[in-house]
Structure 1
């Protein structure tokens, strides 16, 4: 297949672990968000927390038949009284229940958040988190995590958790820079001719997740987005683009640089960041939309302006147009047009739609059951699709929120 003809679609509600958590309900979101906000997985470190945190030292991958599954992290905080297991894999969705054996005690997951994802660069089709209630001290012996896949295969993972270190401030972990109200710290690890750089955000990851530059993984992506890639410059101004390694959590991302033949000191330049807000950085007034008959499409062509709620996006063009709505069975699709320009310093890129008023349901009061999916339409538009809470009604009441923004820098970090 010609890569240049592939246009990736975006699962709007699944951009990061935190984004997935908003789909599982308020009963556990608060504790889970607090956990991810204070914990840096790749470093095994926590920020400003008094209790003892345990986490998985490194991911564990296993395969059975054609399925490949990775336990990417396990997090346990006794004071929070829950244990969280993050997993990802290929194939169809696994079963929504899992088991865990810790300190010889067998547990069943009481909640899970597992959803489909679409990544051009990784061989996974789903990712998510299983939650277990547990409040006893961890004896630092192996624990066993067990799950059932879509083909009824069982996978067991024997894992050992390490005690996380605690620091007062993220800046203690490495060189730091600030621009446009965004502070970024780089944690650097050098091995032979490779420089590994973990970029950590200081903004509350309960609220926003940052993606840095335009990450490239192959020569096609480098050719297409190279000018916006995270770049390293050496003492002689030679440059090398950072290869995106993995988005580890909502608060950090890792890049690899080939520094063979380069001379220190180095400088890392981040041309832009993509900010995904989990509570909406801007929102519309309540909008009344028609619910057409099945397979009907209604053109709306209504312009609205979102109200900025965060200073990071206050200067962006918040004007959008609702082009059309369409219904198929209990699914509803909205096409939107954006008026922001490619050269805007802060550019609105993606919106989400949430139910309000009479369109909220007991199953999913503040979101649409099953989440949102969508994709780009042309150069300046997008589609948002979801399950209708009341498909037999003739009206839908919603608010449109600005969820993802591109913010131009640059951010420069000196590395001696």
Structure 2
């Protein structure tokens, strides 16, 4: 395998792992990628470390891959993630690429489609089937002339390895499991098919899904709507150079699903604070806070809000701040002395994303452990504040370390590293800064007229 091939595979794998909700990270031990041949260990090591370090958590070695070739694996992951541009693109980029945008409900993504591509069909509403205490939820389906993607969940049993898609023309296609997650009786799965699926070319084609002894459907599909920019997808607002847009959809039983999107580059991960920040607020027309609901599939889509409504609005979303991680690969090399005992003052100034900080000192804790003191200059007036970063060795490989956070500022305070007892120097790359951007972003919206509640 060439270096270029490794970088490509690593990029696809990390994009999938990156979609797991950081505040549900304990569930990552149950995530399985279903492929044919064990992947390159170096790739897995870097991906696993990168994911946990970007979240400021200790690495765990629990991600498992089943067997398949790297070539097949890469093509599968290109299918699943390659067409997704990190939830958004700027209008200029869209114009340059001559592509159209379509939001895919249930998958929580914005997909780009070539103008020359044939019609894309989607499942607009989740479809649920209940039998006794067990249930299956088809949360999202997208069918293009190149591939099929399906997101589903269930209570009881395990995610099936394959699912049969049966079209209204009687054609049968076998979808393979790409990504699964199981916690107790609840499970989730993402499925794919590479190739063109023949369906009736009309406004309301239907299909059914079959696995084991379960037959689900029929489910009606709709032609996807396209726009030139994410602002056209729903209410949007811009603050401090960051645009946030929303996609609002009324589901059954007076439930509403709102997906938040940003115009950040595809190398930037945006945390809106939906499930992590008490400052994030969703309020009704009277200003009362609305309790958001959990959904069995929501762990895959941390940009999604679900809640019940009894009026058309207006409703208000207030996002006081964003937590952003830059995964573009920017880095700074640093060399630090390792004391035989005690503490050495280093006071090395560094900068990432235009945000200065300092490696203050290195202290020997024991025979195989050192602590690096960090001073992240925290000015309460700054719109953009550094909070954390990742470290790797000079070859980009994972480095074993833990972090200590300043409780008052929530900024990185100390890095605790495991070293060789005879080691005299640390040479590291500081990379992947996580920083806070102040808002607020305020989005006011009504239930779309075609979904309006009857009075």
Q: Does 1:405 align with 2:443?
A: no
Q: Does 1:27 align with 2:74?
A: yes
Q: Does 1:179 align with 2:239?
A: yes
- What is the SS of the residue equivalent to 2:82? helix
Q: Does 1:99 align with 2:162?
A: yes
* Offset, 1:326: 9.7
Taking structure 1 as reference, are residues 214 and 132 closer, same or farther at Cα in structure 2, changes over 3 Å only?
Answer: closer
- Alpha carbons 1:348, 1:402 under 8 Å: kept: no
Provide the rounded CA distance (Å) in 2 between the counterparts of 1:382 and 1:90: 42
Query: Corresponding residue for 1:353?
Result: 391
Provide the rounded CA distance (Å) in 2 between the counterparts of 1:403 and 1:387: 22
Could you say which structure has the higher strand fraction?
Answer: 1
Q: Does 1:141 align with 2:207?
A: yes
> 1:90-117 deviations in whole A, cap 9, x for unaligned?
99xx89x9323344344655xx45679x
Taking structure 1 as reference, are residues 185 and 407 closer, same or farther at Cα in structure 2, changes over 3 Å only?
Answer: same
Q: Does 1:167 align with 2:198?
A: no
- Alpha carbons 2:401, 2:418 under 8 Å: kept: no
186, 192, 206: which one pairs with 2:266? 206
RMSD: 5.9
Q: Does 1:256 align with 2:287?
A: no
Provide the rounded CA distance (Å) in 1 between the counterparts of 2:400 and 2:121: 33
Q: Does 1:284 align with 2:350?
A: no
Taking structure 1 as reference, are residues 286 and 33 closer, same or farther at Cα in structure 2, changes over 3 Å only?
Answer: farther
Query: Corresponding residue for 2:378?
Result: 341
* Offset, 1:165: 1.0
Provide the rounded CA distance (Å) in 1 between the counterparts of 2:120 and 2:366: 47
Provide the rounded CA distance (Å) in 2 between the counterparts of 1:204 and 1:243: 25
- What is the SS of the residue equivalent to 2:105? helix
Taking the TM superposition and a 5 Å limit, the aligned residue runs for 1:258-273 are 265-273=314-322
Aligned residue-pair number: 346
- What is the SS of the residue equivalent to 1:206? coil
Provide the rounded CA distance (Å) in 1 between the counterparts of 2:250 and 2:190: 34
Taking structure 1 as reference, are residues 276 and 164 closer, same or farther at Cα in structure 2, changes over 3 Å only?
Answer: farther
- Alpha carbons 1:230, 1:270 under 8 Å: kept: yes
Provide the rounded CA distance (Å) in 2 between the counterparts of 1:23 and 1:191: 35
> 1:243-286 deviations in whole A, cap 9, x for unaligned?
365657668421537678xx965543321122233435x53226
The answer for unaligned runs of 5 or more in structure 2 is 1-22, 27-49, 56-62, 86-100, 166-170, 200-205, 447-455
> 1:314-357 deviations in whole A, cap 9, x for unaligned?
4x45546686799999xx99877462538453233332334543
Taking the TM superposition and a 5 Å limit, the aligned residue runs for 1:77-156 are 77-79=144-146, 81=147, 83-86=148-151, 98-102=161-165, 103-106=171-174, 108=176, 112=178, 132=192, 134-139=194-199, 140-144=206-210
Query: Corresponding residue for 1:230?
Result: 281
Taking structure 1 as reference, are residues 268 and 346 closer, same or farther at Cα in structure 2, changes over 3 Å only?
Answer: same
Higher Cα Rg, which structure? 2
Given the two structures, how large is their TM-score scaled by the length of structure 1?
0.57
Provide the rounded CA distance (Å) in 1 between the counterparts of 2:258 and 2:291: 11
- Alpha carbons 1:78, 1:134 under 8 Å: kept: no
The answer for unaligned runs of 5 or more in structure 1 is 1-7, 17-21, 117-122, 147-154, 217-224, 291-296, 361-367
* Offset, 1:135: 0.7
Provide the rounded CA distance (Å) in 1 between the counterparts of 2:434 and 2:221: 34
Provide the rounded CA distance (Å) in 1 between the counterparts of 2:361 and 2:195: 49
Provide the rounded CA distance (Å) in 2 between the counterparts of 1:354 and 1:318: 17
- What is the SS of the residue equivalent to 2:328? coil
Provide the rounded CA distance (Å) in 2 between the counterparts of 1:158 and 1:54: 18
- What is the SS of the residue equivalent to 1:167? coil
- Alpha carbons 1:9, 1:376 under 8 Å: kept: no
- Alpha carbons 1:319, 1:338 under 8 Å: kept: yes
Provide the rounded CA distance (Å) in 2 between the counterparts of 1:89 and 1:288: 51
Provide the rounded CA distance (Å) in 2 between the counterparts of 1:372 and 1:59: 44
Query: Corresponding residue for 2:105?
Result: 42
- What is the SS of the residue equivalent to 1:13? helix
Provide the rounded CA distance (Å) in 1 between the counterparts of 2:187 and 2:344: 35
Provide the rounded CA distance (Å) in 2 between the counterparts of 1:299 and 1:268: 48
Query: Corresponding residue for 2:10?
Result: none
Given the two structures, how large is their TM-score scaled by the length of structure 2?
0.53
Taking structure 1 as reference, are residues 334 and 166 closer, same or farther at Cα in structure 2, changes over 3 Å only?
Answer: farther
- Alpha carbons 2:403, 2:415 under 8 Å: kept: yes
